[in-house]
Amino acid sequence: MSAIVASDLDRTLIYSAPALGLAMPDAEAPRLLCVEVYERKPLSYMTETAAGLLAELAGKATFVPTTTRTREQYGRIHLPGPEPEFAICANGGHLLVWGESDPDWQRTVAERLAAQCAPLDEIRAHLVRTADPAWLLKERVAEDLFAYLVVERPLLPNAWVKDLAGWADERGWTVSLQGRKIYAVPQPLTKSAAVAEVARRTGASEILAAGDSLLDADLLLAADRGWRPGHGELADAGWHAPHVTALEERGVAAGEEILRAFIRGAVPPGHAS
């Protein structure tokens, strides 16, 4: 038997300083390992314990980083353990094989988007037209596949996000609010579809998954077993599924617990670990 472990990265396995969630005395705080540097500054971390668990996991299953990050943003991350053979970027838009985007998968994605949802230009124009400069900081397009806004979260009206989600859904797009970013992503552009392709290529018998945001819901639903942390968009919404464990841990503590669960899940019952 072989397992694929497909995990979201940001706020699931790796954490920015504000997202660490270290609500404890300084002397009891875990030791941290920096796994991402941007513009000469440390940006993302995991605990040293989590780093050891991830390296252990790589010896037991096919670990597939599965992120909404662009390829360039993913390339800034240096995870412990061996380089993964497969990685998924741009929410399923790119399937990396030893660091290179698979052209066959790119064609498959392009065909699905053209047939099943409104074009990116229409969505982007609506975002720019309706966003208020009072809270909009940046507007970006990722990999010519989806769009996102960076906002001043305290000033962002909840009604605007709700209205946007309804408008986008009618056009085959999903809206996800994660921290200071509002994502608008085509509904056919999914992490689960890309993970299913990895499973097909590897002949995997089981998929284990973890994630914290609305954009991870399809991945968790498609997995045989899944885990979500006690923080994030899914936790805030009370999202659940029968085969998905809702952890109580938040912040980096959740990252450690997810990796422990992956390791347990990757070893079939009756087999030595």
Domains and CATH numbers, the chain: 3-110+189-266 (3.40.50.1000), 118-186 (3.90.1070)
- 131-143 mean pLDDT: 97
Is residue 41 scored above 50 in pLDDT?
yes
Chain centre distance of CA 148: 15
- 70-81 mean pLDDT: 96
pLDDT of residue 268: 62
pLDDT of residue 267: 75
Q: How confident is the model at residue 25 (pLDDT cuts 50, 70, 90)?
A: confident
Is residue 232 scored above 70 in pLDDT?
yes
Is residue 93 scored above 50 in pLDDT?
yes
Strand order in the sheet with 100-101: 86-89, 94-97, 100-101
pLDDT of residue 86: 98
Q: Are 91 and 146 in contact (CB under 8 A)?
A: yes
- pLDDT per residue over 9-23, tens digit each? 999 999 999 999 887
Helix, strand, coil percentages (3-state) for the chain, rounded to 5, are 40, 30, 35
pLDDT of residue 269: 52
Is residue 79 scored above 60 in pLDDT?
yes
pLDDT of residue 66: 98
- pLDDT per residue over 210-223, tens digit each? 999 999 999 999 99
Q: What is the pTM of this model?
A: 0.92
- 166-193 mean pLDDT: 96
- pLDDT per residue over 142-159, tens digit each? 999 999 999 999 999 999
Chain centre distance of CA 123: 22
Q: Are 176 and 233 in contact (CB under 8 A)?
A: yes
Rounded to whole angstroms, how far apart are CA atoms 189 and 228?
21
Exposed, middle or buried by CB within 10 Å (0-12, 13-18, 19+), for 171?
Answer: middle
- Per DSSP, the three-state class of 268 is coil
Give the total residue count for the chain. 273
Strand order in the sheet with 15-16: 15-16, 41-47, 32-38
Is residue 271 scored above 60 in pLDDT?
no
pLDDT of residue 61: 94
- Which region among 40-44, 142-146, 178-182, 192-196 has the lowest average model confidence (pLDDT)? 178-182
Rounded to whole angstroms, how far apart are CA atoms 86 and 102?
10
pLDDT of residue 125: 97
Is residue 270 scored above 90 in pLDDT?
no
Helices (H) and strands (E) in the chain, counts: 9, 15
